[in-house]
Amino acid sequence: MRIAIAVAAAIAGLSASPALAQDEHAAHAAQSAQTSAPAARNANLPPDNDAAKDQLAKSPRHGEWVDIKMASGAPINSYVIYPERSSKAPVVIVVHDIGGMSDWIRGIGDQLAKEGFIAVVPDLLSGKGPNGGGTSSLGDRDQVGQAIRTLTPDELKSRLDVIMAYGKTLPSSNGKTGTVGFCWGGGTVFGYALNQPSVDATASYYGPMPTEPSAYEKAKTPILGLYGGNDQRVNANIPVAETELKKRGVSYAPNIFDGAGHGFLRNQSGQDGANYKAVQQAWPKTLEFFKRNLDARGNTSQSSKT
């Protein structure tokens, strides 16, 4: 059931700031050859592209579709997954890659809910398709990619502000908000963190970073960076981010995983096993980072031990 939620009052509490930097890469990198798949699905790690649909079908957690209202235009169609816990939980906004909304990105949200977070997975292409539709209305991947590149930095920030405000209105929210994104989404959440001080923690998976020092002037949010060693296109700008964020006293922890390629979390069987090894290291770091910055109860479940 789709639920229309008004969040204007909550939006007013968010700090105004300049538009976030846009991921400028022309297309998502081609998936690496499927060469060394893990022998069995590790339930304590997020699903890859092939395992996501099954995880969603078998998940014991409550997930629902909601329409998050904008001040004008089409609402943002989002999938919200709730953890099974007795105390209030932090919200993590999960931002898709250049392929748009998918079972895989919803599966990442479900894995976060397993760890105690409320996951809000928005289709940021809502309203960009025919008849006001989103990703599913756009047809093939090329059309999705073309549409996603029409989202301006200002528009992305406005959408993410509304989604954050929605999360803060949830009765089961503890008021803390994190963001995580992948590829295009990794660049999007990185830029958003530089411009929205109300974000409490950001994890950017192989997302491009701004190259101009002025983009970092208002940065306050701690950022965890997770990168494949064979992704120099993205990694080349890590030193810029390190230098500029250090100047401003902002925590930035880049992690480069040897041999892994771009998109390693979605394509876990690529790069002769290096992608899967990267996931084994990156996911526990992500959970520890979010639990430290967002969750006062300090939950450390068995899932964080892989």
CATH value at residue 271: 3.40.50.1820
SS3 66: strand
Grade residue 101 by pLDDT with cuts at 50, 70 and 90. Answer: very high
Q: Which range marks the domain in which residue 87 is found?
A: 4-13+40-299
Give the CA diameter of the chain. 51
Burial of 171 (0-12, 13-18, 19+ CB in 10 A): exposed
Domain count, the chain: 1
For residue range 222-263, what is the model confidence (pLDDT) as tens digits? 999 999 999 999 999 999 999 999 999 999 999 999 999 999
pTM of the model: 0.88
Domain contains 305:
no
Distance from first CA to last CA of the chain, Å, rounded? Answer: 36
Would you say residue 53 has pLDDT above 60? yes
- Distance of alpha carbon 98 from alpha carbon 257, whole angstroms: 22
Would you say residue 203 has pLDDT above 70? yes
Domain contains 22:
no
Q: Provide mean pLDDT across the span 170-182.
A: 98
Q: Provide mean pLDDT across the span 123-128.
A: 96
Domain contains 204:
yes
- Distance of alpha carbon 133 from alpha carbon 3, whole angstroms: 16
Distance of CA 215 to the CA centre of its chain: 20
